[in-house]
Amino acid sequence: MRYTPFEGFDRMFDQLRHDMMDLRDSMAGNWPESWSFGTAIDLAERDDEYVLTVDMPGFERDEIDLRFDDGTLWLHAEHEADDETTARHRSLSEQVAVPREVETDDIAASYHNGVLEVHLPVREGATERGHHIDVE
């Protein structure tokens, strides 16, 4: 049997893929009070609502497309700048799963000084998706 150095890469990527799936599965249903997606995005639970904060400097309000569908907040923004010497294009696409049911009619969003803030009020009486089962 012949060995090639690429076999090592295949094993390494398979292990990485396996580890990432394990991490994703271990986080399912275990939402902390404040869930941080790095420095740019933060989802925090406050009183009877979730507040999503996204740092997105350089975008204009009308370049932001925001929607909520089936427990997920979808964010897409595109910015194109064309001056005399260069053309630049920036885009941002994110989706954030919200762990509890939301009053979709009462969602409010604002964008000031490069920061998008979305208020997602929790539906009264809504429980978290999924629950922990004690094993006796």
Region of poorest pLDDT, from 22-26, 29-33, 75-79 = 29-33
* Higher local confidence (pLDDT), 129 or 117: 117
pLDDT of residue 50: 92
How much is the average pLDDT of 8-30? 71
Instruction: Count CB-CB contacts under 10 A for residue 49.
Output: 18
Give the contacts of 5 (CB within 8 A, at least 6 positions apart). none
On whether the pTM is more than 0.75, the answer is: no
**Three-state DSSP class for 122?**
strand
Q: At CB < 8 A and 24+ separation, what contacts does 4-13 make? A: none
> Is residue 126 scored above 60 in pLDDT?
no
What is the C-alpha to C-alpha distance for residues 80 and 136, in angstroms, rounded to an integer? 58
Which pLDDT value is given to residue 31?
47
The tens digit of pLDDT for each residue in 44-63 reads: 988 889 999 999 888 899 99
Which residues pair with residue 119 across a beta bridge? Answer: 51, 108
Mean pLDDT of the region 10-17: 78
The string of DSSP codes covering 39-92 is SSEEEEEETTEEEEEEE-TT--GGGEEEEEETTEEEEEEEEEEE-SS-EEEEEE
Domains of the chain, CATH where assigned? 32-121 (2.60.40.790)
